[in-house]
Structure 1
Amino acid sequence: MKKQYAVAALAMAGCAGAQAQASVTLYGLIDTNLEFLNHAGASGGSLVRENSGGLSNSRFGFRGTEDLGGGNKAFFILEAGFNGNDGTNATAGVLFNRTAAVGVANDAYGALSAGLQYTAMYDTLIKYDPMVFGQQYTWMPTTGSADSFSFKARVNNSVKYVGHFGGLTATGVYSFGGTADSFQSSAAYGGALDYDSGSFAAALAYDYRNGAINSTGMWTKSRNWSASAREQVGDFTVLGGYEHYLYNPTKGATVSSALWFGGVRYLIGPQFRVTVAEYYQSNKAANVSNSLMSVLGADYILSKRTDVYATVAYAASTRYANDKYTPVGLTSDTAFGPNQTGVTLGIRHRF
């Protein structure tokens, strides 16, 4: 249960001048599971391990707002990821690696914020990924190939706008590269339009980023765009879409990749949900496998804060089968074989 703190909590945070209309919320989630993987070693052996983040990445954070009057408010978000299996930071040396942002919002015109923030594509596609960006198993934001064709989940040094206009949400993000004498070096930007009428939703999103400038005054360019939709019919929710990736190196040929994704969620009862998901990546790079992954997941709700889950996934190469491009799930590990199966059993608790 989220804990609300008023003036006292703000004082502890150093906000001595806070008013009665201000509040801070402490929140978090811990998700830990046991996983079995075959074809996990060079000799083809299996692996049993404990992981953090099966359906959701473990995190904790602080969220605060202050009423400024006239439909305006100030807000901040600080969110840190951690590994529930060993207590370490999700990103070594960085505490608030997920979000660190401050901004202002208006009831009619939307919110404007600055800091480390999620990209427009991330905010949009998480609503349409059947596995909701679950660490095990999804191929978003990164895909199943070891070349890591992906859209950016978060950007530093960013300015972000989010506006809600009836059923339409408009998002825009710009990230400053911060390189002297080159405004475009390491810069990134993106936008999204997401329409939700209740039972039906559809969205378009775009993500662009530059690499760091090199000695010749050039930088790499990466582009992602996506189209996705969701339809709810009774206890069934059907959702999916398409993501396209294009990479321009400073030298050599352009590389492209495409990811198709889709699935069905079925609410068997108020406490039990089953998800079936499918991911397929086509890759036009030379000697790189196309890949597919099928997922079956079950989630049982014990209470408002706690649920247990089980997931089975199968990934395989469909072209070249060169053993390098078929990891199950969102992981840097690669499979040592043309296919791989993963099974998890975990528990997730919110606070």
Structure 2
Amino acid sequence: MNKALIALSAASLASTAAMAQSSVTLYGIVDAGVQWTNHNLTSSGGGASTFAAESGGASTSRWGIIAREDLGGGLAAVVNLENGFDATKGTVNNGGRLFGRSAFVGLKSSTYGQLTFGRMKTAVYEFGVLYDAVGPATWSASVLDSAIVGRADNSVNYEGSFAIGGGKLGIKNLYSFGYDSVAGAGPVAGDYKIGKEESLMLTYDYGAANIGLLYDAQNGNTVAARNTRISRYGVGVSYDFKPFQLIAAYRLYTQRAAVNTSEALYWLATRYQATPFLNINAAVYYVDDRNTGHGQPIMVSILGSYLLSKQTDIYLNVAMVANKANSSLGLAGYNTVTEGALQTGAMIGVRHRF
């Protein structure tokens, strides 16, 4: 009888251990190089060339931890903490947050999707990942709209994927009670609008084709700016011809405040795997300014990377911005070059993944 009880207890413990298997993974990227750009705005108002060391030229330098515990029945607990840093200075990015790229915990179901709580990527970020072929390189769509690499504090996020009509429908829906509690006010008692963000993306994959729809809206994140509302609408399409993928995307920006403004951003892009070791990505971006004061610049960026191993590659990024008389977009953002300048830049770096 005792032997039977011992055997039963051992089987029960083994079953519990199998159901509650857990894992913790440490990962990261260190990316650094050098860059050259011309026509950079100087203190005297003229333009000059600049040489500089650069961190995260092709991918932001980072390290992170992923934890997962299987709870049984297709359900798992998930955790992600991710730090972004400047490899040329050793300093922390994302407003000084220790885990500014991601900090969340939640539950994941193999059937119903994933529900998480914390600081997470917005739908605008995910839109950029899918449709900006050069991103997340420094010289990509984020030059024209910083929200392309946006994250939100104080968030609840749902993600799911479902088979429909022979294809796959993807859903990402994020709601933030205060998207920036470092620079802004965060959640404020009695005024739910301050810092609120609603972020939604729907995608549909059908064979080699993909389409995505984006909606994102933010209220001002201070008491004074509570009634300012910035919205972004987007649509992206892609088709994978293998070994190259073609992409077209559109993003409309509107700001509702004392003076309403709007701006449209269009781009065409491609991802091309020339060989198993060589990847070439390129994009052309065009801004159609309505009344934001940004003008109508055009930016072209080409990124090539060559794998030295499964974990290490070298890359070259060349880019150009053509401004008209009333625009001053540079590779570092708006108002960083002399008005009407044609800025060019080149960057070479090394990226290691672990």
TM-score under structure 2 length normalisation = 0.86
Aligned residues: 322
Tell me which of 131, 136, 143 is aligned to 2:134.
Answer: 131
Unpaired runs of at least 5, structure 2: 1-16, 179-186
Alignment of 1:33 with 2:33, yes or no, is yes
SS of the aligned residue for 2:127 comes to helix
| 2:169 matched residue in structure 1 | 168
| 1:194 matched residue in structure 2 | 203
Can you list the C-alpha shifts for 1:87-136, whole angstroms capped at 9, x where unaligned? 1111353210110000001110000000000112212331110112211x
Unpaired runs of at least 5, structure 1: 1-16
Do the aligned partners of residues 287 and 113 (structure 1) sit closer, same or farther apart at CA in structure 2, a change above 3 Å counting? closer
| 2:9 matched residue in structure 1 | none
Alignment of 1:80 with 2:83, yes or no, is yes
Do the aligned partners of residues 117 and 218 (structure 1) sit closer, same or farther apart at CA in structure 2, a change above 3 Å counting? closer
Do the aligned partners of residues 341 and 300 (structure 1) sit closer, same or farther apart at CA in structure 2, a change above 3 Å counting? same
| 2:227 matched residue in structure 1 | 219
Contact 2:124/2:147, CA 8 A, preserved across alignment: no
| 1:70 matched residue in structure 2 | 73
Contact 2:20/2:70, CA 8 A, preserved across alignment: no
Contact 1:152/1:207, CA 8 A, preserved across alignment: no
Contact 1:213/1:219, CA 8 A, preserved across alignment: no
| 1:283 Cα deviation from its structure 2 partner | 1.2
SS of the aligned residue for 2:86 comes to coil
Matches within 5 A, 1:140-155: 140=142, 143=144, 150=147, 153-155=150-152
Contact 1:258/1:282, CA 8 A, preserved across alignment: yes
SS of the aligned residue for 1:95 comes to coil
Alignment of 1:291 with 2:300, yes or no, is no
Amino acid of the residue matched to residue 255 of structure 1? Answer: T
Matches within 5 A, 1:1-351: 21-42=21-42, 43-135=46-138, 137-140=139-142, 143=144, 150=147, 153-166=150-163, 167-177=168-178, 178-212=187-221, 214=223, 218-249=226-257, 251=258, 253-285=259-291, 287-318=293-324, 320-321=326-327, 325-328=328-331, 331=333, 334-337=336-339, 338-351=341-354
Do the aligned partners of residues 20 and 161 (structure 1) sit closer, same or farther apart at CA in structure 2, a change above 3 Å counting? closer
SS of the aligned residue for 2:65 comes to strand
TM-score under structure 1 length normalisation = 0.86
Quick one: percent identity of the two aligned structures? 33
Amino acid of the residue matched to residue 30 of structure 1? Answer: V
Amino acid of the residue matched to residue 285 of structure 1? Answer: N
| 1:44 Cα deviation from its structure 2 partner | 1.9
Contact 2:329/2:335, CA 8 A, preserved across alignment: no
Amino acid of the residue matched to residue 240 of structure 2? Answer: Q
Do the aligned partners of residues 139 and 21 (structure 1) sit closer, same or farther apart at CA in structure 2, a change above 3 Å counting? same
| 1:214 Cα deviation from its structure 2 partner | 3.7
| 1:287 Cα deviation from its structure 2 partner | 4.7
Do the aligned partners of residues 64 and 280 (structure 1) sit closer, same or farther apart at CA in structure 2, a change above 3 Å counting? same
Amino acid of the residue matched to residue 248 of structure 2? Answer: G
| 1:268 Cα deviation from its structure 2 partner | 1.5
Which has the larger displacement, 42-51 or 86-95? 86-95
| 1:285 Cα deviation from its structure 2 partner | 1.5
Amino acid of the residue matched to residue 344 of structure 1? Answer: M
Contact 1:36/1:343, CA 8 A, preserved across alignment: yes
Task: Provide the rounded CA distance (Å) in 2 between the counterparts of 1:313 and 1:56.
Answer: 16
Amino acid of the residue matched to residue 100 of structure 1? Answer: A
Contact 2:132/2:141, CA 8 A, preserved across alignment: no
Task: Provide the rounded CA distance (Å) in 2 between the counterparts of 1:162 and 1:269.
Answer: 33
Task: Provide the rounded CA distance (Å) in 1 between the counterparts of 2:152 and 2:195.
Answer: 10
Can you list the C-alpha shifts for 1:226-267, whole angstroms capped at 9, x where unaligned? 100111113121112000000012x2x210011101112222
Structure having the higher helix fraction is 2
Task: Provide the rounded CA distance (Å) in 2 between the counterparts of 1:194 and 1:307.
Answer: 31
SS of the aligned residue for 2:76 comes to strand
Do the aligned partners of residues 18 and 319 (structure 1) sit closer, same or farther apart at CA in structure 2, a change above 3 Å counting? farther
Deviating above 6 A after TM superposition, structure 1's stretches of 4 or more consecutive aligned residues are: none
